[in-house]
Amino acid sequence: MMKEVIEIANNIKEMKIRGAAEIARAAAHALAIASMNIKTSSPDEFIEELKKVKNLLLSTRPTAVSLPNALMYIMHRVEIAYKKGMSTEELKEIAIKAAEDFKKNSMEAIKKISEIGAKRIRNGDIIMTHCNSSVVISILKEAKRQGKEFEVIATETRPRFQGRLTAKALAEAGIPVTLIIDSAARYFMPKVDKVIVGADAITANGAVVNKIGTSQIALAAHEARVRVFVGAETYKFSPSTILGELVEIEERPIEEVMPLEELPKGVKVANPAFDITPPEYIDIIITEKGIIPPQAAILILMEEFGWIIGEEIGIRKFVEEEEI
Ligand code: RUB
């Protein structure tokens, strides 16, 4: 398999490429690179090779549903063309174009979310965020661009400290930001006006899967009557949850929590990377299609993926009508 593709897969696994949106775009990019470089004139072999690359990318990180959704976006278009009997060259072109479209749509979706989300930020707001979401940062930067004055409290996000990245990005954008330890979230909550976080996956019932600790922050916000906003593109909604599948919560290496050599004998370490915030603790989800209550997640899934149950689940309905 191509060196460049393996490198992208490793970078996702090792979190050099991270955050659900960036993971999705990187995976789409990798599939395009792979398709350009598969050396065969047989469409059958081409599809087989592309599937191997897809599976490698799928194996990198399990939680962000944006990753399988991005791959499916491309594979589905290629498979329709394959079934129509197109040549390998044509299949390659379709894969490359689909990857470009996915990346472009992703950037446009984030821009739209930032425009919608920024409207909900008011002068004087104190906003808490967790982890490092490119969507949340875009919303905050857009609000700043519009001249709004507000402050952000960013949790450091142990064990990988993505909160430091958030704090740096906001400070560089001229947004006042205070970095706190994760366990100080409830201590600061009475001062907070709203919590804004990103998402790795949104389930059919409107639960939000995001960085571990999000649900605790949402709980503290609920207690203090602070609104919780989630910024998520529609490709972060999980079609397989309609069929009862659960979103897999990634368990990361224990060394992220404590160096192995310092670990006392008999001590176990658990390091789940994500948790699930039930819909009752979320006020709104800001998507590129507009603001929805979490309970309307199913409507987004229906519109995006249709009701095609079984192995076809997750296939965008409109593709069937498209001329490829
Ligand atoms: C990142 C994380 C982010 C979401 C949304 O986790 O939980 O909040 O992925 O990010 P990790 P974005 O660091 O483990 O990848 O808005 O950029 O898609």
pLDDT tens per residue across span 226-250 = 999 999 999 999 999 988 899 999 9
Residue 210, marked binder: yes
- Give CA–CA dist 185/153, Å, rounded: 9
Q: Is 20 in the pocket of ligand 1 (CB under 6 A)?
A: yes
- pLDDT confidence of residue 68: 96
Does residue 211 have a known ligand-binding role? yes
Residue 183 CB neighbours (<10 A):
12
Kindly name the residue from 131, 182, 275, 283 that is annotated as catalytic: 131
More confident residue, 126 or 309: 126
Is 225 assigned a ligand-binding role in the annotation?
A: no
Question: How many CA atoms lie within 13 Å of 312's alpha carbon, on the beta-carbon side?
Answer: 10
How many Å from the N-terminal Cα to the C-terminal Cα in the chain?
Answer: 27
* Residue 117 beta carbon below 6 angstroms from any ligand 1 atom: no
Question: Confidence band (pLDDT; 50, 70, 90) for 318?
Answer: very low
Mean residue pLDDT of the chain comes to 94
- Lowest model confidence (mean pLDDT) among 10-19, 212-221, 244-253, 310-319: 310-319
HEC string of the chain? CCHHHHHHHHHHHCCCCCCHHHHHHHHHHHHHHHHHHCCCCCHHHHHHHHHHHHHHHHCCCCCCCHHHHHHHHHHHHHHHHHHCCCCHHHHHHHHHHHHHHHHHHHHHHHHHHHHHHHCCCCCCCEEEECCCCHHHHHHHHHHHHCCCCCEEEEECCCCCCHHHHHHHHHHHCCCCEEEECHHHHHHHHHHCCEEEECCCEECCCCCEEEECCHHHHHHHHHHCCCEEEEECCHHHECHHHHHCCCCCCCECCHHHCCCHHHCCCCCCCCCECEEEECHHHCCEEEECCEEECHHHHHHHHHHHHCCCCCCCCCCCHHHHHCCC
- Under the banding of pLDDT at 50, 70 and 90, the label for residue 305 is confident
Q: Which residue has the tokens 């050099």?
A: 16
Q: Which of 17, 129, 132 to mutate to test the pocket of ligand 1 (most atoms within 8 A of CB)?
A: 132
- The per-residue pLDDT for range 44-73, each reduced to its tens digit, is 999 999 999 999 999 999 999 999 999 999
Residue corresponding to tokens 């329709």 = 80
Is the distance from the beta carbon of residue 43 to the nearest atom of ligand 1 less than 6 Å? no
pLDDT of 264 higher than 50: yes
pTM attached to this predicted model: 0.95
- Closest by CA position to 50, among listed 67, 39, 61, 38: 38
**Residue 224: its pLDDT value, please?**
98
Candidate from 15, 106, 131, 230 with most ligand 1 atoms within 8 A of CB, to mutate:
131
For ligand 1, pick from 23, 133, 202 the residue to mutate: most ligand atoms within 8 Å of CB: 133
Query: Do the annotations mark residue 61 as ligand-binding?
Result: yes
Q: Is the pLDDT of residue 322 over 80?
A: no
Tell me how far CA of residue 223 lies from CA of 186, 278, 285, in angstroms: 9, 14, 19
Active site residue 182: no
The one catalytic residue in 125, 200, 275, 283 is 200
Report whether residue 133 contacts ligand 1, using a CB cutoff of 6 Å: yes
pLDDT given at position 46: 97
Specify the pLDDT at position 304: 84
- For residue 174, how many other CB atoms are within 10 A of its CB? 10
User: Measured in angstroms, how far is the CA atom of residue 198 from the centroid of ligand 1?
Assistant: 6
Residue 311 confidence (pLDDT) above 70? no
- Comparing 171-175, 214-218, 296-300, 307-311, the range with the smallest average pLDDT is 307-311
Whether residue 24 has its Cβ less than 6 Å from ligand 1: no
Map out the domains of the chain with their CATH numbers: 3-109 (1.20.120.420), 119-317 (3.40.50.10470)
| Structure token pair of residue 213 | 């600790």
